[in-house]
Structure 1
Amino acid sequence: MAEGDGVVKSAGRVLGLLQVFAEHRRPMRVSEIAQAMGIPQSSTSMLLKTLTAMGYVSFDAEAKAFRPTLRVALLGAWLNEEFATEGSVDEMMVEMARATADAVILAVENGVWSEYIHVVQSEQDLRYALRPGTKRPLPATNLGRVLLAAKPDDEIERIVRRINAEAAAGDRRFDVATTLDAVHAIRRDGYSFAHNLISSGASVIALPMPVPPGYKPMAIGIGGPTDRLERGQEMILAEMRRLLSQYLGG
């Protein structure tokens, strides 16, 4: 989580710390955490000391490593009750990663952006690595296009024109007709799998994720090398749909 852009430094660092643990999923030493967060080790130590005193982080003196406590998980436990009929969204994503052998990305609409709010990384040597907090313009990715597909065409056109109008020199611009064609295909097929939209050789198979009333639209995707996703496309879509139905009833 980058500091600046309206982020209060202390709040940003707390949430950034928790995100580092979520990404690495293991106890970590101060030096590792500082490097992952890109902040001084002295600041990291003070942050960990505070959260340890509050009961949100624990310290293993023998391993000289920190880890979040169950108190962190319990903070948001009530949210899973709204989303998942079985288990949790994180458990579903972990199972999806195991079933498809590639990265699983959860994205939410944030203004004219799709923001990756949770990622379960692939364990394969050749993989598509993404970090939570990554933002892309909605028309730029399969996940973003799935989010757009829930909107009427006139609103999509306004979003694309706004992105183009606010783009800085050198930023990518998007064609309205091309975006609408992609959205119409998603509505017809129920998923998005355009190839190599961001990185050559890497793609995402994306589906809409069912959300309770009152929540922003979300999309979930499997990311990996394009050729591997192409070979496994039918299996990947079947597994994604099976697990969405099992966990979320969607």
Structure 2
Amino acid sequence: MAEGEGVVKSAGRVLGLLQIFAEHRRAMRVSEIAQALGIPQSSTSMLLKTLTAMGYVSFDAEAKAFRPTLRVALLGAWLNDEFSREGSVDEMMVAMARATQDAIILGVESGVYSEYIHVVQSEQALRYALRPGTRRPLPATNIGRVLLSLKPDDEIERIVRRINAEAAETDHRFDVAETMRAIRAIRREGHSFSHNLISSGASVIALPMPTPAGYKPMAIGVGGPTDRLVRGHDVILAEMRRLIAQYLGS
């Protein structure tokens, strides 16, 4: 778990802890949590003790493990009413993972980056593993390109030039004309599926996700081995669109 860059340590650790539970979806021991957070076990114990006292975490004495309480789920339950007419966004993503048999990624714009704010991992042996909190320059991923496609052309060009200007000597630079060609294709086809953008042999099929007024634009993607996504492209895309329409009414 990264700290610094304007992150208050205590707040970062609390949210990092909740994110770890979201990824693992089970009760966990102190040692496991400390390792996942990358902080001392003594600090982890103090954090868990505080959240237990406040009712956000419970302790199973027999299993010697902690898990979040329903109080955590209820904190943001009201947000689902703004997004989904049938269930939570997480339920939609789980349904999408079951239908496509691959990882489902929810991304949002964060400055000149796309940030993966929620991931439902694939259960297949050969899979595309991603962690929530991963950030990539907007032109570097299919999800980021979908987010860019929602912007005016002049703004896209400014973003790409800014990324290139701020890039370190060893970082990849993005060709403005090539990026704009990809954006036009996304607008024409309604989705993005450029192959092997980040990792050789792995790709993402990405779509814009309907977002209520007042929220940053989001994109959702199915990530997996490129060959598997190519073979199943039409079926995967149809399932994504069906579930978005079912849950979000669009």
**2:242 paired with 1:235:** no
- Name the SS of the counterpart of 1:228 in structure 2: helix
* 1:37 Cα offset (Å): 1.0
Q: Which residue of 2 aligns with 1:83?
A: 83
Q: Which residue of 1 aligns with 2:69?
A: 69
Alpha-carbon distance in 1 for matches of 2:94, 2:29: 24
Q: Which residue of 2 aligns with 1:47?
A: 47
Q: Which residue of 2 aligns with 1:189?
A: 189
C-alpha root-mean-square deviation of aligned residues, in Å?
Answer: 0.5
| Alpha-carbon displacement from aligned partner over 1:222-241 (angstroms, at most 9, x marks no partner) | 00000000111011001100
Deviates most, 1-10 or 115-124? 1-10
* 1:168 Cα offset (Å): 1.1
| Structure 1 stretches lacking a partner, 5+ long | none
Alpha-carbon distance in 2 for matches of 1:125, 1:42: 35
Count residues with an aligned counterpart. 250
Alpha-carbon distance in 1 for matches of 2:177, 2:249: 34
Identity %: 84
Paired residue type of 1:58: S
Alpha-carbon distance in 2 for matches of 1:36, 1:248: 33
Q: Which residue of 2 aligns with 1:156?
A: 156
Q: Which residue of 2 aligns with 1:131?
A: 131
TM-score (norm 1): 0.99
- Name the SS of the counterpart of 1:116 in structure 2: strand
Q: Which residue of 1 aligns with 2:206?
A: 206
Alpha-carbon distance in 1 for matches of 2:90, 2:200: 29
| Structure 2 stretches lacking a partner, 5+ long | none
Q: Which residue of 1 aligns with 2:96?
A: 96
Paired residue type of 1:84: S
- Name the SS of the counterpart of 1:220 in structure 2: strand
Alpha-carbon distance in 2 for matches of 1:37, 1:100: 30
TM-score (norm 2): 0.99
Alpha-carbon distance in 2 for matches of 1:32, 1:124: 23
Alpha-carbon distance in 2 for matches of 1:33, 1:230: 37
